[in-house]
Structure 1
Amino acid sequence: MRTVRSWFRDTTGGLPRAFWYLWTGTLINRLGSFVLVFLAIYLTRERGFSASQAGLVIGLWGVGGAVGTTVGGTLTDRWGRRPTLLTAHLGAATMMLALGLARPLWAVALGALLLGTFAEAARPAFGAMMIDVVPEKDRLRAFSLNYWAINLGFACAAVLAGFAAQAGYLLLFVVDAATTLVTALIIFARVKETRSAVAGPTVKHAAPAGALRTILTDRVFLGFVTLNLFAALVFLQHISMLPIAMGDSGLSPATYGSVIALNGVLIVVGQLFVPRLIKGRSRSHVLALAALVMGVGFGLTAFAGAAWFYGLTVLVWTVGEMLNSPSNSTLIAELSPAALRGRYQGVFSLSWQLAGATAPILGGLVREHAGNTTLWLGCALVGGVVAVAHLVSGPARERRAAQLRTPATPARPVTVTRTPAPEAAEAAATAPAEPVRAAP
Structure 2
Amino acid sequence: MKELLKLYIDSYRGLSRPAWLLALVMLVNRTGAMVLPFLGIYMTQALHFSISEVGVVLACFGLGAVTGSWLGGWLTDRFGNFWVQTISLLASVPLFMAAPLFTSVKGLAAVIYILSVVTESFRPANSVSVARYARPENITRAFSLNRMAINLGFSIGPALGGFLASISYHWIFYGNALGAFIASLVFIAFFAKRKGNTRPKPTAGKGDKPSSRPLSPYRDWTFLLFSLFCCIYAICFFQLLSTLPLFYQQGHALNEKQVGIILGFSGFVVVVFEMLLVHIAERRLSYASSIFIGTALCAVSFALLPIPTGYWILYASIFLLSISEILAMPFMASVAVQRASKQTQGAYMGLNALAFSAAHVFSPFLGTRIADHYGFNVLWWGTAAVLMCVAWGLYLVVRKL
Regarding TM over 0.5, the answer is: yes
Unpaired runs of at least 5, structure 2: 204-210
1:259 is displaced (CA, Å) by 1.5
Verify the 8 A CA contact 1:246 1:305 in the aligned structure 2: no
Give the TM-score normalised by structure 2.
0.92
Unpaired runs of at least 5, structure 1: 202-207, 398-440
Indicate how the Cα distance of structure 1 residues 289 and 9 shifts in structure 2: closer, same or farther if over 3 A, else same: closer
Which residue of 292, 306, 331 maps to 1:327? Answer: 331
1:126 aligns with 2:130: no
Give the equivalent residue in structure 2 for 1:268: 271
1:31 is displaced (CA, Å) by 0.8
Instruction: Give CA-to-partner distance per residue, 1:92-126, whole Å, 9 cap, x none.
Output: 22211111232222221111001100000011111
Q: Which has the higher contact order (CA 8 A, sep 6+)?
A: 2
Give the equivalent residue in structure 1 for 2:221: 219
1:210 is displaced (CA, Å) by 6.4
Indicate how the Cα distance of structure 1 residues 379 and 2 shifts in structure 2: closer, same or farther if over 3 A, else same: closer
1:195 is displaced (CA, Å) by 5.2
For 1:241-320, list aligned pairs within 5 A: 241-249=243-251, 250-278=253-281, 279-304=283-308, 306-320=310-324
Stretch moving more, 27-36 or 384-393:
384-393
Instruction: Give CA-to-partner distance per residue, 1:198-250, whole Å, 9 cap, x none.
Output: 4369xxxxxx9967x72222012111101100000100011110111122122
Which residue of 226, 232, 235 maps to 1:230? Answer: 232
Verify the 8 A CA contact 1:259 1:307 in the aligned structure 2: no
Verify the 8 A CA contact 1:31 1:157 in the aligned structure 2: yes
Indicate how the Cα distance of structure 1 residues 375 and 9 shifts in structure 2: closer, same or farther if over 3 A, else same: closer
Verify the 8 A CA contact 1:35 1:172 in the aligned structure 2: yes
Q: What amino acid maps onto 1:53 in structure 2?
A: E
Q: What amino acid maps onto 1:343 in structure 2?
A: A
Give the equivalent residue in structure 1 for 2:21: 21
Instruction: Supply the distance in 1 between the matched residues of 2:389 and 2:360 (Cα, whole angstroms).
Output: 20
SS in 1 for 2:276: helix
Indicate how the Cα distance of structure 1 residues 376 and 5 shifts in structure 2: closer, same or farther if over 3 A, else same: closer
Verify the 8 A CA contact 2:296 2:388 in the aligned structure 1: yes
Give the equivalent residue in structure 1 for 2:187: 187
Verify the 8 A CA contact 1:80 1:193 in the aligned structure 2: no
1:276 is displaced (CA, Å) by 2.8
Instruction: Supply the distance in 2 between the matched residues of 1:264 and 1:303 (Cα, whole angstroms).
Output: 23
Instruction: Give CA-to-partner distance per residue, 1:291-324, whole Å, 9 cap, x none.
Output: 1110110122223573322122111222211111
Q: What amino acid maps onto 2:267 in structure 1?
A: G
For 1:29-428, list aligned pairs within 5 A: 29-191=29-191, 192=194, 194=196, 196=198, 198-199=200-201, 214-249=216-251, 250-278=253-281, 279-304=283-308, 306-397=310-401
Question: For this pair of structures, how many residues does the alignment match?
Answer: 391
1:3 is displaced (CA, Å) by 7.0
1:132 is displaced (CA, Å) by 1.1
1:44 is displaced (CA, Å) by 0.6
1:142 is displaced (CA, Å) by 1.3
Instruction: Supply the distance in 2 between the matched residues of 1:8 and 1:371 (Cα, whole angstroms).
Output: 42
Percent identity (aligned):
26
Give the TM-score normalised by structure 1.
0.84
Instruction: Supply the distance in 2 between the matched residues of 1:8 and 1:390 (Cα, whole angstroms).
Output: 28
1:176 is displaced (CA, Å) by 0.7
Instruction: Give CA-to-partner distance per residue, 1:163-208, whole Å, 9 cap, x none.
Output: 111111111111111111111112222203625474369xxxxxx9
Indicate how the Cα distance of structure 1 residues 193 and 124 shifts in structure 2: closer, same or farther if over 3 A, else same: farther
Instruction: Supply the distance in 2 between the matched residues of 1:84 and 1:61 (Cα, whole angstroms).
Output: 20
